[in-house]
Structure 1
Amino acid sequence: MHTKSAPRRLTGIDAARGVALFGMMSTHILPLYAPGTIEATWTALLFSGRASGLFAVVAGIGLALLTGGRSPHRDRLLAADRTGIAVRAVIIALIGLVLGGVETNIAIILFHYGVLFLLALPFTGLRVRPLAVWAAGWVLLAPVAAHLLRPVVTGTVVPPSLGGNPLFEHFLVPQTLAADVFLTGYYPVLQWLGFLLVGMVIGRLDLSRLGVQAGLLAAGVVAAVGARLVSAQLLGPGGGLAALVATPEGSRYPLEAMLDVGLTGVDQSGSWWWLAVSAPHSGTTLDLVHVAGSAAAVVALCLLLTRRFPSALLPLSAPGAMTLTLYSLHVCVMSWTDQLVPLPDPLQLFWLQAVAAVAIGILFQRVHSRGPLELLTSGAANAAREGRAEVRR
């Protein structure tokens, strides 16, 4: 019975990863504001901030499953797991640095992804309850720490951010690289570790049980909706939005419109009211709770839909099983299409890439193979893991 449930569970998780992939692709290709207006498009309303957050939460689920699922590994087995994860993290970060050299407007997540894997290593031996305490505490306190640290960092580190994706040469300016990756960049690792910890909590549950899947869906919806409602109350009747618009930074932007799309580029300092927003990429507690809740709901829904029929979400789960390869390919394709004159129609470009990703994913599944970059990372990670296990014996 157990051997039958595992593939189904993983199929649902792959499908959720596929949702994240296509959501991120849509935000890279399609406009986030309606042309000629400051109104958010459906792409922004659905996927801005949520797609990349879902990617990170599912990464946390993967880490939990790699390290024993409901019963986390111990001692030599855990040490071997951690060695494999560290090697995987380094390779993913290196791929991110290579892609950073590609001419593109995309904020590439892979270097940060690798750093997050390394930071998650100390938590891989925890059971669900202590892990849940850490996740809750991190989501609550990390945004406060970031709010206090950002002004200090921006005042002492010159420049305080990279102004683009991390590159190999940025290791020559380690202070700026660290400031950008942990605090001032597009995916601030200080707050984003909360997504991985939430994912690890989910991965420690018995995800094959119907009650767990249904409970995860309900909890995710409540968290996502509740965070938005609390933020709306604080910003509206609470007076938070008026206070932010009155700040020098808030007065420079159409802030109310940006709350639906994202606060990238906005200096969220000078007022504690910034912590009341739940806008995409704001990195506040309410943003983290909303995105993590949305991610939990998507994962649960995918698990429920693939419960009886593992291939029910094949157009999502097949590409979701090789997101590292397809994401990297997408970045390269976008770098090429951005140079075309005239620029291709965004909607046509999205569907061409989406259909190609589905076709490639299904093809690799049919020949029982993983993507090239997945083979590279898993092969190196497994070799390191087995080597560590042999040494420990």
Structure 2
Amino acid sequence: MASPKVSRRVSGVDAARGIALFGMMSTHIFPLYIAGTADASWVALVFSGKASALFAVVAGLGLALLTGGNRIHHRAVLSMDRRGIAARAVVIMVIGLMLGGLETNIAIILFHYGVLFLLALPFVSLPFRQLVWWAAGWLLLSPVAAYMLRPWIAGTVNPPSLGGNPRWETLLEPATLFADITVTGYYPALQWLSYILIGMAIGRLPLRDLRVQLGLVVSGAALAAAAKLVSGYLLGPLGGLTALLQTPEGSRYPLEAMMSVSLTGVDQSGSWWWLAVSAPHSGSPLDLLHTGGTSAFVIGLCLLATRRYESVLLPLSGPGAMTLTLYTIHIWTMSVVDAQEPPPDPSLVYWGQVLVFVVLGILFLRINARGPLELLTSGASRAARSGLNS
């Protein structure tokens, strides 16, 4: 059976993916705290947790587009789609393992990204309404499941997490790798599947419809604001923050300062109040709701902007069409930069990469070419799709 014709790229989605790429890069390069203080930097306030969430939401949106968008492919074609997505996932996971061997302090997302693609396979046949219910339920319940699993993992799996990026040798520790990827690591797939489901639900909408675009902006902003307001009420007037400060982790870390930056490394166990926080990378329901809302907001804005100003977004949509290649170059570049003594100026490192990536993205777009790693994944996908039908 021939594969369905691929529709023209949605440049607004590529622009949102470009924002996610540049936002993640900023958190890798610039300080997240103002020097000499416990105050969050503007980079942390704008991008910490939100950029990586946007990256995952757009990944889910992309899966929805691959499987027909708002007109879901027929069952036979969906079977081919699943094989193609699985092949993409494997290639991305292999690239993630290769990058994991580099000396860098960056938490590399690619292996987790591939795992999330595999976890999404059962959902690719679902329409918008069912995906919304699945996303809502997963967003609410997966953090509860993670909270209950963490103590059991800590007492059963040794060590309970990798303490770094997945590498080839970590495949020899399957229990630790599984625990890290799903629950205890930097991008726990148990909760992060929520982002994929949110993105898939968005991708089942007619994205070029003005009402849809406005709806994403309004609903995204409302959900993001509501999550922060509810968290503030739970932690403030209801006493949640006071209770958390009395836990071992609350007394060990500057918890109030970290709430605006990241709770990475904090053992969120021993108090159900951890589920009331909305801090970046806390994986709580309110964190997932806030960052899912900001992701929908950005996607909606980008789609709206491309109605009249598509060419203006080229510096974002160009790189956004080849993020796998550019993200890989960025990780390799930072592994070199991090080894320099004295360390170079972060502004030069960041804007130098942005300039190169914008030029490359626009150039590849103008000559109608794809990035090298995008070609690799699409080639693996095509081979997997046609393998059983040849």
| Bin of the TM-score, shorter chain as denominator length | over 0.9
Cα distance, 1:226 vs. partner? Answer: 0.5
Q: Structure 1: how far apart are the matches of 2:74 and 2:352? A: 46
1:133 and 2:133 correspond: yes
| Equivalence for 2:205 | 205
Q: Structure 2: how far apart are the matches of 1:169 and 1:146? A: 26
Cα distance, 1:308 vs. partner? Answer: 2.6
1:278 is matched by which residue type in structure 2?
S
Cα distance, 1:311 vs. partner? Answer: 1.9
* Runs (5+) with no aligned partner, structure 1: 1-5
Residue by residue, what CA displacement relative to the aligned partner does 1:168-191 show, whole Å, maximum 9, x if unpaired?
111111100000000000000000
Q: What are the residue-to-residue correspondences of 1:309-328 with 2, within 5 Å? A: 309-328=309-328
Q: Structure 1: how far apart are the matches of 2:249 and 2:319? A: 41
| Equivalence for 2:353 | 353
Residue by residue, what CA displacement relative to the aligned partner does 1:314-373 show, whole Å, maximum 9, x if unpaired?
000000000000000000000001111111011121111111110111111122111000
1:269 is matched by which residue type in structure 2?
S
CA RMSD of aligned residues (A): 0.9
Q: Secondary structure at the match of 2:310?
A: coil
Q: Structure 2: how far apart are the matches of 1:73 and 1:251? A: 53
Q: Structure 2: how far apart are the matches of 1:160 and 1:74? A: 42
1:34 is matched by which residue type in structure 2?
I
Q: Structure 2: how far apart are the matches of 1:250 and 1:64? A: 40
Q: Secondary structure at the match of 1:108?
A: coil
Whether the 8 Å contact between 1:244 and 1:273 is mirrored in structure 2 is: yes
Whether the 8 Å contact between 1:227 and 1:290 is mirrored in structure 2 is: yes
Q: Structure 2: how far apart are the matches of 1:159 and 1:74? A: 45
Instruction: Give the aligned length.
Output: 384
Cα distance, 1:218 vs. partner? Answer: 0.3
Whether the 8 Å contact between 1:11 and 1:311 is mirrored in structure 2 is: no
1:64 is matched by which residue type in structure 2?
A
Q: Secondary structure at the match of 1:182?
A: helix
| Equivalence for 2:278 | 278
Q: TM-score, normalised by structure 1?
A: 0.96
| Equivalence for 2:4 | none
Residue by residue, what CA displacement relative to the aligned partner does 1:86-126 show, whole Å, maximum 9, x if unpaired?
00000000000000001100000000000000000000000
2:18 is matched by which residue type in structure 1?
G
Q: Structure 2: how far apart are the matches of 1:264 and 1:207? A: 34
| Equivalence for 1:3 | none
Whether the 8 Å contact between 1:97 and 1:168 is mirrored in structure 2 is: yes
Moved over 3 A (4+): none
Q: Structure 1: how far apart are the matches of 2:160 and 2:383? A: 38
Q: Structure 1: how far apart are the matches of 2:309 and 2:265? A: 44
Whether the 8 Å contact between 1:16 and 1:320 is mirrored in structure 2 is: yes
| Equivalence for 1:166 | 166
Q: Structure 2: how far apart are the matches of 1:358 and 1:329? A: 13
Q: Structure 2: how far apart are the matches of 1:356 and 1:251? A: 44
1:109 is matched by which residue type in structure 2?
I
1:143 and 2:143 correspond: yes
Q: Structure 2: how far apart are the matches of 1:75 and 1:216? A: 29
